[in-house]
A and B are shown apart, each in its own frame.
Chain A
Amino acid sequence: MKISKSPWVLHYDGSSCNGCDIEVLATMTPLYDVERFGIINTGNPKHADILLLTGGINAQTAPVVRQLYNQMPDPKVVIACGICSCDGGIFKDCYNILGGSDKVVPVDVYVPGCAVRPEALIDGVVKALAILEEKRVKVKESMKQGYCTVDYSKIAVRMKAEDYDPATQYDAVLTEEALREQAEQKIAQTAKPAPKPATPAAAPAAKPAADAAATKEGGNA
């Protein structure tokens, strides 16, 4: 059984003109009926597998998108819907637009269009499912090594508001591996220097190779 039989979607409007959002909702209608594929439009990042982003990213939505992405449990994929979400579109040169969704989160599938056609969108989601399956295998492997199972919960417990650095808010893309490294550093800093020596030393060496592939894949779908 594949996990891609039940993809739950989280839809977020970066700074769209609402054209793509209407098309996203159109896929739920009886005409397109994405529930055929088990797709549910959930409003909750903690239940979601696929992050659908519409519209370019502006200064105010950048931290929101990043937070939504970070709240989603692994494995997860990101789909940029519409040309604005792919690279900024006609709003690209606006003073407040940072660019496409890939400025703030790693995007797996780009679905162009203005507005994106529901057919193209469904096709994009189906492409994303294959990536989701690949990522699932990778997460499973990484969990066997024992570094993926703990880090996110530790982030939730140990990260505070003052740990968030506004200076690096927009220019750095916070990828999965960067997040993990941050988490491990924080754990190492806050952990009591008691019985366990620095065991994570073995894990970080293995993970960039495993995850670099995951985030770079599916560039131009």
Chain B
Amino acid sequence: MAMTVLKVALYILLAPILGGLMEGLDRVVSARMQGRQGPPLLQPFYDVYKLLAKQTTVVNSIQILFVIAYLIFTIFTGSLFFGGGDMLLVFFALSMSEVMMVLAAYSTNGPYSALGANRELLQMMCYEPMILLVAIGFYEVSGSFMVNDLIKVDSPAVFKIPGMLIGFLFILTIKFRKSPFDMSTSHHAHQEMVKGLTSDISGNNLAFYEIAEWYDQVLMMGIVAMFFICKNPVSIIVAIVACVIFYLMETLIDNVFPRVKYMAMLISSWVVILVAAGTNLLILSVLD
């Protein structure tokens, strides 16, 4: 019990620092890929500090509630995961937090926000099936939905469910709002619909949103790490290395691909999910 509390406390304290550094690294590496010097590594922290110092304009006061609920639900989701909780509950809470952000965007009645919210719902439609399949895949490996049991398996989950990893990495691009699929909003400069989801969110609320994104990124990388972690403590190092490689791969994909239309996103993500994860699940159930 004390161990769980410690893990959750560590997540709540360290995740924003780690998430901010990850985003800073992403921006520096992106800049180097484009032949630029790029911002300092701590730039995301400067951004959030500035946003906290700015005046907050609010279009509809319920928007504050939804943005804070998004932050709280994201932290709750991550705490469940890193505390060793139920994988299914983690993913349901994750969907809940996303819905809060969509509601925040809808509540402003702004045309760009509404468009961003519509697209965010489309994105959720693309990645939700995969997220559920990941939970089922982990169940096939360890016979339990609990994260605590999952990290005590004999051999890494990736040996049994490599297709799930491929599918999950594919939707990670959508989840991180990286370039081929950065339809609802983007971490980068402006696009055809301004900032989409966050168009009407400013000051403190935008800072909370950014912090929630950091928590979310760390959670997502945690799920990637789950594919590699087993009883053997060496596997933790392997998992960290894998996370770094996959994260940099996302940055590369972000810089290489242009944004696609929503149909292309929907079709490609569902095809990848069906082929990679679906086939994997089929083989597993045939073998058992």
> A: which residues have CB within 8 A of B?
1, 3, 5-6, 28, 30, 33, 35-38, 40-44, 46-47, 49, 71, 73-75, 136, 139-140, 143, 148-149, 152-153, 156
What would be 7 A-B contacts, judged by CB atoms less than 8 Å apart? A5-B43, A5-B46, A35-B27, A36-B37, A46-B200, A74-B55, A139-B55
Chain B residues with CB under 8 Å of A44's CB are 190, 194-195, 199
Contacts of A37 in B (CB 8 A): 39
Interface size counted on chain B using CB atoms at 8 A: 34
Interface membership of B202, Cβ < 8 A:
yes
Q: Find A1's partner among B37, B49, B194 (CB 8 Å cutoff).
A: B49
Residues 114-169 of B contacting A (Cβ, < 8 Å): none
Using a CB–CB cutoff of 8 Å, the interface residues on chain B facing chain A are: 27, 31, 34-40, 43, 46-47, 49-50, 53-59, 61, 189-191, 194-195, 198-203, 206
- A-B contacts counted at CB < 8 A amount to 89
> With the chains together, A44 CA to B43 CA distance in Å?
19
- In the complex formed, the residue of A with least CB distance to B44 is A6
Cβ-neighbour of A5 out of B36, B38, B50, B201 (below 8 A)? B50
Complex contacts, B54 vs chain A, CB 8 Å = 3, 49, 73-75
Complex: A40 Cα to B27 Cα, angstroms: 12
Chain B residues contacting A75 (CB-CB under 8 Å) are 54-55
Pick the contact of B37: A33, A42, A148 (CB < 8 A). A33
The answer to whether A47 and B202 touch (CB under 8 A), given A5-B50, A35-B39, A40-B189, is yes
* Contact assessment for B50 and A71 in the assembled complex, using a CB-CB cutoff below 8 Å: no
Question: CB-nearest residue of chain B relative to A70?
Answer: B57
Complexed CA–CA distance, A143 and B54 (Å): 11
